[in-house]
Amino acid sequence: MAEFCNQCTEYRLGAGCAGDFQNLSTSEDTKAGLFAVVLCEGCGAIQVDHLGNCISHDHHPDGTHTERTSPVQY
């Protein structure tokens, strides 16, 4: 089964739908700058906060979500 961050879930299913990565860490972790590393089927290997929001750097500065269009390059 595919798992998605909150932004990809909202993009695919509409507003109000929650993603699959909530509660993998705590709000204290987020405040301390610690994030879970997950594999989102929409954007690839990313970091998410305790709410399941993608916080990785391949998002626009204004907070909008952009999906990867090519494989991750290292």
- What is the longest distance spanned by two Cα atoms in the chain? 34
Q: For residue 23, give its domain range.
A: 1-66
Query: How many domains would you assign to the chain?
Result: 1
Q: Between the CA atoms of 8, 12, 14 and 17, what dihedral angle is there, to the nearest 10 degrees? A: -60
Q: Which helix (H) or strand (E) holds 27?
A: helix 27-31
Residue 53 lies in a domain: yes
Per-residue pLDDT of the chain (74 residues; tens, 9 = 90+): 789 999 888 888 888 888 999 999 999 999 999 999 999 988 888 899 999 999 886 654 445 555 544 444 43
Residue 50 lies in a domain: yes
CA 16 to chain centre: 15
